[in-house]
Each structure stands twice: as structure tokens, then as C-alpha cells.
Structure 1
Amino acid sequence: MDSASMGSEGDALLRERTRSYGVLNTLYHETRGEMELLNKQLCVKDNIIADLKSRLPVVIGPSNSLVESLLSEICKLKQKRNDMEVKAARQGERLTAQIREKELEQERIRSQPDHEKDREIQRLRAALEERERAEATRSVLCSSLAEEADQLRGQLGATVKVCQELLARLEREKKGTGGEVEEQSTPELSDLNAAKSQIRQLQGENQQLKQRVSYVQDLNSQWQKYDSSREEYIRALGQKLKESSGPGLMPVVGSIRTGLLHQEISRLNALLEEKIRECSRLGREVEDIRRQGHERIQTLEQQVLIYTEDFKSERADRERAQGRIADLKEQISQLKQQLHKQVRRNTLLSGGCRAAAAATNWSECPGPSELQCPQCHARFNDTEAAECMKHFDECARL
């Protein structure tokens, strides 16, 4: 396996060096073109100088400084050309030596046995099987997340049923009680409406969670199909590689097919890693949504319990108050009956003293149109019934 990896590294290094040699060869040809251009320019300058020298005896030529500058420029160009020729020769020798080394390395790689390639293919297949096992583990995790989502939906349905029962009870209590009960139950209705809105929001989020889980499951099934087709393709490539390693084919064709196989395996490995990262990200998102939904369900259950306890305590208080009011009304009716009986007895009495005493007692006792508190003996007229009831409530509290 080490020799196979060294062989693949040698192929990569060989391809890199071949590209570098191509670049150096291109630079070498460009340098030769520049040298030829400089030679042409030098020939043109030499012709110009010869023409000028031939015209010097006849025509008044340019100044000596111009001629000297031209000569110095020509010398510089010649020196530059010589330097470039030397550099090009050295570079050509160096490139030739590197090409020889690369050819020797290619021959050494071609002379390697085919069983090392088989080892490399087996190693890659083992890596693919390990990744398939990891993918199966992730699929099991996705199925467990789906089961947990179903459990959360069941808990949510139970919570919705409890809230609906509470709402039905509250509506029945609202129909059976008076205006005072309606005023007291108004904040409870608002709280229950808020709880129902939160439950609806939680149902929407749970639906989104269900959609994400189904998307992950579909993606997992698609990836399994793609993985099986990829395995078949790799097997076909391995078979072609074995067929290409026969004695009748050239080793160059075998090395080319081996390189293509390595490229395909690298591409498939990169695609597999990308899909695995996407599955991990989706799994984390599903876990976060499931945790948030569970926390919200617990919060809503606690709120429903609190609202239920408050509703029961307030209903017990209302029942006690209504019982107290009924007792007070019964006492008032009894007092009215006693008052009417006493009035009839006083009217039946006769005689001077008895009449005077009866008149005195009648003036002291409350009349038939008056009400008297049984505790503090305060008197109220029939027109002051509301104040009398308020006074009775205060005395009953004291």
C-alpha cells in the first residue's frame, strides 16, 4: 500500500514537473525569438552605420557624439545578445537534464507490478465500505429522530385535547353565571386564547419539523441509490483496470486509465464528504427544532395547569359567595316574616295602655317597609335595597 501511494505521488510529481518543463520550454522559445529580433535590429543598425560611414566623405554627416552613442548602443545590444545566448544555453542544458530524470522516473513507475494497483483499489473499497457503515448509522439516527417527532406530536395532541376541554368548561361556566362571572372569566379567556395561539404556533413548527425529517429521509434514500450506482461504476473501472493490465497492452495506456480511476475516486470521495456534511447539518437542525418544541410543550403544559388551578379556585370562591348570599337572603326573608307577624299582633291588641305600649313598640320596631340588619340592627327602607345588600355583605365579612 505504501508503494502504491508512493507511485501515485510519483505520478502527481511527474505531471507537475512535466508542466513546469513545458513552461520552461515555452520561455526558451520566446527567448530565442527575442534574440532573433535583436539580431535583426543589430543588422539594421550595422547597415545604417555602414551607410553613414560611406556618406561621411561626401555629405556632412551627424556629429561625432551621435555616432559614438549609436556605437555604444550597438555594443550594449551585442553584449545583451551574448548574455541571453549563454543563459538560454544553460537553461536548455538544465531542462534537458530534468527531462532525462523525468523519463527515468516514468520508466521506473511503468515497471512497477500491477498488484500494487490492486492493493490501492482494495484500500479505496475498504474506505468506501466504512463510509457506507457511517451512512447507515446516520440513517438509523434519522429514523430515531422521526420516532421522537411522532412522540412529540402525540404529546401535542394530548395538550390540545386538554385545552379544548378547558375551553368547553369555560364556555359552560360562562353561560351559567351572571355578568360578574363573565367579568371575572374575561382574563382567563384571554390567557386560554394566548395558550391556544402558542399551541397553534407549536403545531406549525412541528409540521415544519416533520417536513425536514421527511426531506432528510428522502435525501438518505437518494444517497443510498447513488452510492450503490457509484459502487457498480467503481467495480466496472476496476475490471477495466485489470483488463488493461494484460501483457498485450502498452503500459502507457494502463497508467492513463489508472490516473482516470484515481480522479474518479477522488471526485466521488469529495461528493460523499459533502453529502455527509449536509446530513450532519440537517441532523443538528432537527435536534434543535425537537428540543425547542419539547421545551415549548412543557411551558404550555405548565401554563395550562396554572390556568386550571386558578379557574378552580375562582369557581370555588364564587360558589362560596353565592352560598353566603343565599343564606343572607334566607335570613332576610325570615326577618320579614317575623316583622309581619309582630305587626299583626300589635294591631289586634286593644285598650288604652296596651294601645299606647303597642304604639310605642311599633314606633321602636321597624315597619313593614323597612329592613333591619340582624347583626348591627341598622334600618333601611325598601328603596335602599342595594345599600342594604352591600351593608349585609360587609357585616357578613366582619
Structure 2
Amino acid sequence: MTGIRNTMDVDLDNDTLKSKIRSCHTLTTFYHETRLEIDTLSKKIKKRDNLIADLKARLGKYENTCINVEGYDPVVIAPAESLLESLCKEICKLKQKLKDTEMNAVQQAELSQQEIQRLQQLLREMERELESVTRQPDHQKDQDIQRLRSALTERDRAQATRAVLCTSLAGEADQLRGQLGATVRVCQELLGRLEREKKGGERVTEEVKMQQKAKEILDYTEAGRIDILVSKLQEENQKLTQRVAYVEGLNSKWQKYDSSREAYVRYLCQKLNESSALAVTSSPVPGVGHRLGPGPTQEPGAGLGLFPELASAKAGLLQQEIARLNGLLEEKLGDCGRLGRELDESRRRYKDRIQMLEQQVLIYTDDFKSERADRERAQGRIQDLQEEVSRLQEQLHTQAQSPTRDANSTCRVHKGHRISPRMSTNSAESLLRNSANPPVTKIKN
């Protein structure tokens, strides 16, 4: 019975030792795996440190160098900042640019508003001046018309005197040409007589020669003077014809102007009649209808001869100026609308850009946080494994230093060592297998 008990005790001791050896083998495999992981991580860290040092050395060659490109901002090569800081700076720049554009747009709108107010004020002044011109009293209109008529009659009189002078000068030129022909004929007769009387004597010939020379001198001087007079008369005649053509063109222009003035006066009278009718129908206040209503002096047919020419010309100029100012006002309003649309478009574009950058910042911050959490988890796992390895090493050290048992226990230990080669081969195979496929799960205590 004692032998059976001893064998059972030995078997139990062998089983416990085998389980302890298995646990030790697993711990050694985990230890070797952690050592391998630590070596690989240290190698990766060294590689990255070397890469960072290489990049810093490369970047040191180009630090504090400024590159200027035409049409762009200067670029300074320096160590790159973090992505979050660069995105924040870009957002600040875009916000500042948006504020600047908004301020410029507001200033432009204020300037355009001031310009519109100035143009409206000028338009009101022109309208008041036009109303003052249209409301001039009739005696001033009559005086202006009389003055213009007198100027027109004086112009016609001057034109008639010029025509008379032209005709008289043409008659005098014809008369001088006839006298010149008569003197030429007389000279020819005298020359013939002198030739016939040439044989009468030298004295007679000398006298005849002297007379002939005197006649020739007189003829030449008279002919030159007559030619000069004829050329002067021709020049004056050309000038007078040009003046007549100019006056005729001016008269045609005045006629056109009179016709346009009469049409404009009809238009103004019609407008006055319509405005007076509207005033009478809209506000029946006593006195208003009599002041603006159509009277006998403001009929379209009767007012044609009483409206002054200068006032109508001034009214035409005022109408042109009003049309020009209206065009400028429309252009300014169009510019204001265009600037407003551009401002809205720039605001929308900048808002979209800012939203996109904010989304990118959020995405990058999430990525950074997730990477940091993964790094912390990996670091915590490494620390846990290192602590487990150190604890297992301490356990092995304590087990190696524990006192030996009695002889039975020594026998059991020797028997256990007999199967150690098989266990060692199994442990080597497990180490190779685990090195090929590293464990993923954590150790459960």
C-alpha cells in the first residue's frame, strides 16, 4: 500500500512539474516574442530617426532661402510647421482677406451712393432750371424774339449789300477790261502811224520812239495795275461766294433748329397740359389748376412764336445734360448691383472655403487623436508585456534559487529531466511557430 501511495505521489509530482515546465515554456516563448517585437520596434525607430536626421540635414542646406516668383508672394524655405497650425493660419488669412474685401465693398458702395446723391442733386437743379426757363414771362420771350429777328434782318441786309458789292465790282472789272482793249487798239494805231512817218526824219523818229516808250511804259503799268485789281476782285468774289455758302448753310441750320424748337415747344406744351390736367384731377385745391392749367398763352399753336430761342437752346442743352446724367445714374446703379453681386459671390466662396478648411481641421484633429490613442495603446501594451516578462524572470529566478527537496523529490526531478529533450524540441518548434505567427491576444492572468 505504501508503494502504491508513493507511486501516486510521484505521478502527481511529475504532473505538477510537467505543468510548471509547460507554463515556463509558454512564458519563455512570450518573452522571446516580446524581445523580437521590441527589437523590430527599436529598428523602426532608428530608421525613422535616421530618416528625420537625413531630412533635417537636407533641409539645412536650403533654410532661410527666399524664392521670388513674379506675380506671387515670396516663398521662404524653412522647417515645415504642423498641419493644424498651417491650416489655422490659412483660415486667419482668408478671414482677414474676407474682411478687407467687405470693407472695400462697403467703401465702394458708399462712394457710389455719394455719387448717386450728387447726380440726383444735379438732376434736380437741372430740372428746376428747366422749369424756371419754361415759366419765364411772355414779355421776356417777346423781347428775345424781337432781338433775334432784328439780328436776322441785319444779317439779311449785310448779305444783300455784299451781293450788290459783288455785282458792282464785276461791272467795274468788265469796264476796266474794255478800257484796256481800247488803249491797246489806240497804241496799235499810233505804232502804225509812226512806222508810216518814219521816213520823215530822225527827229520825228526819236520823238515817236520816245512817245512809243512812254506809251509802252504807261501801257505796262496800266496793264499791271489792272491785272492786280482783277486778281483782287476775283479773290474777293471767291471769298464772298464762300461767305454766301456759309450763310446759306447757317440759314438752313437755323431753319432746322427752328423746326426742332417748335416741335420741342409743342412737346413741352403738351406735357404742361397733361400735368395741369393731372393736377386738377388729383388735387382740386383752389388756385392750383389756374396756375398749371393750359391758358391761351400756352397753347401748342400759340406758343411757337413766343418761346425764346436762347431759352429753347438752353432747355435743349439741359435735356441733353439730364439724359447724360440719367445714363450716368443708370451706370452707377448697375455698378452698385454688380459690386453687390460680386460681394455676395466672394462671401459665399470664402464661407465655403472656410467651412471646407474647418472640416479638414476636424478630420486632421480626429486622425491625430486616433493615431495618438493607437500609439498610447501600443505603448501601454509594450509596458504590460515588459512588466510581465520582468515578473516571469523574477519567478524563474526565485524558482532556481529555491532549496532542493528530499531524495524522492530529487528522483522525481531526475525523471522529469528525462523527458526534457522532447520538451525542448517542442519548445523550439513552438518558438519558431510563434515567431512566424506572432500572438495578437493579451496574456490573461
TM-score between both structures, scaled by the size of structure 1: 0.41
Choose 1 or 2 for highest CA Rg: 2
Tell me: higher relative CO, structure 1 or 2? Use CA pairs within 8 A at least 6 residues apart. Answer: 2
